[in-house]
Amino acid sequence: MTPDAVPATSVSSDFRRGDGRAVDQLRPITITRGWSEQAEGSALIEFGGTRVLCTASVTEGVPRWMRGEGRGWVTAEYAMLPRATSTRSQRESVKGKIGGRTHEISRLIGRSLRAVIDLRALGENTVVLDCDVLQADGGTRTAAITGAYVALAEAMVWARKEGLVTGQPLTDSVSAVSVGIIDGIPVLDLPYPEDVRAETDMNVVITGAGEFVEVQGTAEGAPFNRGELDSLLDLAVAGCAELAQIQRETLGE
């Protein structure tokens, strides 16, 4: 541990979270598996007031540039309903183009899921994960990753039943959580009011085995030091372990 990594939680002992949670406590998490009657896999996931509908659509075949290689493809699309937020935003379909934030999050979800699937075991099949935010209260991208894994797992059960895949393409589970520093204190799972106050904001994607898939830390205000980074990673590792457990329970494993 570098010398400047004085445990941040000791710095201002009188910090209180708006919703009364401990700094290392997740919001209430609810995952409703199979919410959609149409998709091959689906989950409505709630992290407090954040609600994301995740569906997994399985189709035979892969994009042209991958054909004949014996590998499948997994991709994701993230979007937000116009009134998911406290003020209405214009629809991206109406604007005629997708914004940078949407692009960035869609790519992040896709990479995160591909990290725990063996594309060769998937065979030449494509899975599209749609993550639509019905209501937003911070942490929508991490809720989306956590819910999309459940939808994907459910879709793999379907695909084995249908004979589209034979083995188990999933190599591990994956979940994600946001962490941040507020008034110098590292905290876990930020709702929107905390998110806007955070000096540093980090999204961490972690496998069921506890290894990192993505670490995306951003100094919103002041730059952060190595000690702060370490504290944030510690919180995220613990938070994702809890999420992985909830995923297992939801999937009846």
For a copy of itself, the binding residues (CB under 8 A) are: 1-2, 36-39, 42, 49, 53, 55, 57, 59, 77, 79, 81-88, 91-104, 106-107, 111, 115, 128, 130, 132, 134-136, 172, 202, 206-207, 209, 211-219, 222-226, 229, 233
Task: Closer to a copy of itself by CB, 137 or 189: give it.
Answer: 137
Beta carbon of residue 14, minimum distance to a copy of itself (angstroms, whole number) = 26
Task: Closer to a copy of itself by CB, 13 or 86: give it.
Answer: 86
Nearest to 127 by CA among 79, 98, 165: 165
Beta carbon of residue 249, minimum distance to a copy of itself (angstroms, whole number) = 23
CB environment 63-102: b (16+ within 10 A), e (fewer): eeeeeeeebbbbbbbbbbbeebeeeeeeeeeeeeeeeeee
Beta carbon of residue 15, minimum distance to a copy of itself (angstroms, whole number) = 22
* DSSP designation for 57: E
Task: Closer to a copy of itself by CB, 170 or 206: give it.
Answer: 206
Beta carbon of residue 20, minimum distance to a copy of itself (angstroms, whole number) = 18
User: Distance between CA 100 and CA 160 in Å, rounded?
Assistant: 36
Strand partners for 47: 29, 50
For the packed helices 140-161 and 226-250, what is the interaxial angle rounded to 10 degrees?
Answer: 40
Beta carbon of residue 164, minimum distance to a copy of itself (angstroms, whole number) = 15
Beta carbon of residue 29, minimum distance to a copy of itself (angstroms, whole number) = 17
Residue 21 among known ligand-binding residues: no
Residue 20 among known ligand-binding residues: no
Task: Closer to a copy of itself by CB, 101 or 248: give it.
Answer: 101
DSSP readout, 61-90?
Answer: S--GGGTTSS--EEEEEEEE-TTSSSS---
Task: Closer to a copy of itself by CB, 95 or 166: give it.
Answer: 95
CB neighbour list of residue 71: distance below 8 Å, 6 or more residues apart: 62, 119, 120, 122, 123, 124
- How many angstroms separate the Cα of 245 from the Cα of each of 71, 135, 150? 30, 24, 12
Task: Closer to a copy of itself by CB, 55 or 146: give it.
Answer: 55
Q: Which residue has the tokens 């591909």?
A: 114
Residue 41 among known ligand-binding residues: no
Binding-site residues for phosphate, in ranges, read 101, 139-141
